[in-house]
Chain A
Amino acid sequence: MLRQRPPSPRALALLTGPAHRRTVHAINDEAAARGLRPGLSVQAAQALASDCEWAEFDPTALERDRQLVAAWAYGYSSQVSLVFADAVVLEVGQSMELFGPWPVFERRLRVELADLGFRHRIVAAPNAWAARTLANTHDGLGVEQPQLSAALGRLPVPAAGFDADVADAFTRMGLKRLAQVVAAPREAIARRFPPAVLDWIDALRGRPLPLRVYQPPSIFDRRMEFDHEIELASGLQFPLRRLIGDLAAFVRARDGGIQRFRVVFEYDRFEAATIDVGLLAPERDAVRLLDVARHRLERVALNGPVRAVQLVADDLPPFVPPSGDLFEPHAQGMLSFDQLRERLRARLGDAEVHGLATDLDHRPERAWRTQRERSEPLAALADARPAWLLQQPIPLRARVDILFGPERVESGWWDGEDVRRDYYIVETKEGQVAWVYTAAGERGPFMLHGFFA
């Protein structure tokens, strides 16, 4: 939620809970400086900080952000998981060869998270559970296997991430530090607590369970709703930059590019307006994408105050980075013919992109196909055929000179679409050479069926 707003020096608190018992859910640094704490009642909070901004906490927004972070993390590791509440874990051991030793890697992660606008804590540990648990109290910690049990053991039980009542029970049992909990007999814990607690402790002891791995979605669809309507186009700059930054992170993690996306503006009083933004070649640089989107939006007039902005991208082609090879025979943006055909198909539709082939039928309409099925020669190679064929023959009323004909075409009696026509090649006054037909045995009127060109 915090990241949907431009950075501002004002205190902000998110509220949650039923109407009669509203409490503070999360706060920013400025609000914390005024003495607000999560869990405080609204009345108390308002007494403490009267100039604070209040907003409603939205758990679905939180989940969307988690999805985004996971998509971003997928760029660094194929093993990303969202099983833990409020956290994204990724396996970094395999990735360090590529991204450098942990301090370098960590700095890179931090810079990108900050760019995406997330406040974060990062902890690296030999297993996912340990990392998640340590992240409750630490930031920037990197633990190796030998120091792991000591680091975990020092953790106070209330901060170990157990449910409040479980943590309470441990404390009442006299177990103050996590080391004591881990040392406690398994059977005793199994008897007193739900199985999830034991699983968690087992995982901390070094017997991790398999994690459900995150699968990145194949489309990007994000929406940003505003608390108040935005009337000026300049006010849309920030949300747009945020959305496009998210999109760029998403496609980069997939090692893909983006060639087309839609920006939808939702209004309170009008129907939503969709603006298509297209690029010449797949792109994934946030600055370039924003640039293109801005140019496109400059030409669009807003109907009125905007309530929400949505960004949808469902066509995610592979990204072809510009080639810097000195001996590259072709210019950049080169595609194979198959890739090109795919792109055309995607934009124009499958049926609109077809090949050409001849067929054995004597009837002109059936002597061609959109696809080669057999490699047989033509039936009537000897006869001249026009370069253009009209899909529907049309009556030809102009005076014409007959150059050649008639050629009798009589076929198809077996399938009920029989054809009995005399074809002539004629020349019109303008010099066009046309292929026309009449009913067999007659000299007109003519139907225009094609052009020699």
Chain B
Amino acid sequence: MGAVVALDQLLADRTVWRGNAPARTAFPAQPTGLAALDAALPFGGWPPASLSEVLAPCDGVGELSLLWPTLARLTGAHQPVVIVAPPYLPYAPAWHLAGVALDHVLVLRADARGALWAAEQCLRSSACGAVLCWPNHASDQALRRLQVASETGQTLGFAFRSERSADNPSPAALRIQIHAKPRRVRVLKCRGANPPAQSIPLPPFALA
């Protein structure tokens, strides 16, 4: 018996899959702010210190509203949030209305390569609460680097990608797909448990 590993350790590290039993981790929970989604996920929210992938058919279907409660909570606790090379301008009035403390938001503009580099640096530095990036044409290897960087820096990483990548495997700890009509989310993969079979409705946009 060369290597004896404590079972608790294996389970805590989330390296052993345990069917449907909820995994306990050493990290505090990162609730999504959406009660139905929190209940469906094994960690009571976003997988801590990991990369989460949000897949959407196109921009503007609720991918940001899904994150806003989390971002509001993090920035409210003075944890910086970095938005790496967003596809459009994050519009300050709406983000402010959503409760995000803009003083703790940093926006980066970069080309695809620079964005990957920056996202990895931010995740690895453990100086940020969350890092948002759009690695749409990134290779599997690049995503794996982001996942490893999230783990090293113990930072929440969010990768927004097109739903076309849903069929390809991904190293992300959580994969969520957004359906636009009707607006729902479906969990494709969550490390540590079986993905829930049912999709979860998203709250409507506050339009008026």
Interface residues of A (CB under 8 A from B): 278, 280-281, 330-331, 333-337, 339-341, 343-344, 347-348, 351-359, 364, 367-370, 372, 378, 380-381, 384-391, 403-404, 425, 430-434, 450-453
- Is A367 within 8 A of B92, CB to CB? yes
- Is B180 within 8 A of A432, CB to CB? yes
B58 to A: closest C-beta gap in Å:
5
- Is A431 within 8 A of B180, CB to CB? yes
**Other contacts beyond A358-B102, A388-B64, A404-B208: 17, CB < 8 A:** A331-B153, A334-B125, A344-B108, A347-B117, A348-B108, A353-B108, A356-B102, A357-B92, A384-B207, A385-B91, A385-B94, A387-B90, A391-B89, A432-B59, A432-B60, A433-B207, A453-B59
Partner of B110, one of A280, A336, A348, A451: A348
Closest 7 CB pairs of A and B: A431-B180, A451-B60, A368-B92, A388-B88, A431-B181, A432-B60, A389-B91
Q: Chain B, 4-45, contact with A by CB distance < 8 Å: what is the 0/1 string?
A: 000000000000000000000000000000000000000000
- Is B121 within 8 A of A356, CB to CB? no
Do A453 and B60 contact each other (CB < 8 Å), given the known contacts A353-B108, A368-B91?
yes
In the assembled complex, which residues on chain B have CB atoms less than 8 Å from the CB atom of A390?
88-89
In the assembled complex, which residues on chain A have CB atoms less than 8 Å from the CB atom of B124?
280-281, 333
**With the chains together, A370 CA to B92 CA distance in Å?**
9
A179 to B: closest C-beta gap in Å:
63
Partner of B89, one of A340, A343, A368: A368
Do A353 and B207 contact each other (CB < 8 Å), given the known contacts A388-B60, A388-B87?
no
**With the chains together, A437 CA to B80 CA distance in Å?**
34
How many A-B residue contacts, CB cutoff 8 Å? Answer: 175
**With the chains together, A281 CA to B93 CA distance in Å?**
36
- Is A385 within 8 A of B88, CB to CB? no
Q: Chain B, 101-134, contact with A by CB distance < 8 Å: what is the 0/1 string?
A: 0110111111000100110111011111000000
Can you give 15 contacting A-B residue pairs, CB < 8 Å? Answer: A280-B120, A337-B80, A337-B127, A340-B127, A348-B110, A348-B114, A367-B91, A368-B89, A372-B103, A381-B97, A386-B91, A389-B89, A432-B58, A432-B60, A453-B62
**With the chains together, A242 CA to B110 CA distance in Å?**
35
In the assembled complex, which residues on chain A have CB atoms less than 8 Å from the CB atom of B208?
384, 404
**With the chains together, A370 CA to B205 CA distance in Å?**
25
In the assembled complex, which residues on chain B have CB atoms less than 8 Å from the CB atom of A386?
60, 91, 94
Partner of A347, one of B57, B64, B95, B114: B114
**With the chains together, A283 CA to B208 CA distance in Å?**
54
Closest to B68 in A: A387
- Is A336 within 8 A of B107, CB to CB? no
- Is B127 within 8 A of A387, CB to CB? no
**With the chains together, A430 CA to B181 CA distance in Å?**
7
B61 within 8 Å of A (CB atoms): yes
Interface centre among B80, B127, B128, B154, by most chain A C-beta atoms within 10 angstroms, is: B127
Identify whether the interface residues of A are mostly helix, strand, loop, or mixed.
mixed
In the assembled complex, which residues on chain A have CB atoms less than 8 Å from the CB atom of B105?
355-356
**With the chains together, A341 CA to B106 CA distance in Å?**
9
B144 within 8 Å of A (CB atoms): no
**With the chains together, A453 CA to B57 CA distance in Å?**
12
**With the chains together, A25 CA to B122 CA distance in Å?**
55
**With the chains together, A355 CA to B75 CA distance in Å?**
13
- Is A378 within 8 A of B93, CB to CB? yes
In the assembled complex, which residues on chain B have CB atoms less than 8 Å from the CB atom of A388?
59-60, 64, 86-91
Q: Chain B, 66-99, contact with A by CB distance < 8 Å: what is the 0/1 string?
A: 0000000000000010000011111111111110
Q: Chain B, 48-68, contact with A by CB distance < 8 Å: what is the 0/1 string?
A: 000000000111111111000
Interface centre among A351, A353, A453, by most chain B C-beta atoms within 10 angstroms, is: A453
A234 to B: closest C-beta gap in Å:
28
In the assembled complex, which residues on chain B have CB atoms less than 8 Å from the CB atom of A352?
108-110
Do A385 and B59 contact each other (CB < 8 Å), given the known contacts A340-B127, A450-B88?
no
- Is B106 within 8 A of A354, CB to CB? yes
- Is A337 within 8 A of B128, CB to CB? yes
Closest to A434 in B: B60
In the assembled complex, which residues on chain B have CB atoms less than 8 Å from the CB atom of A357?
92, 102-103
**With the chains together, A142 CA to B181 CA distance in Å?**
85
Q: Chain B, 172-208, contact with A by CB distance < 8 Å: what is the 0/1 string?
A: 0000000111010000000000000000000001111
**With the chains together, A453 CA to B88 CA distance in Å?**
11
A114 to B: closest C-beta gap in Å:
37
- Is A353 within 8 A of B106, CB to CB? yes
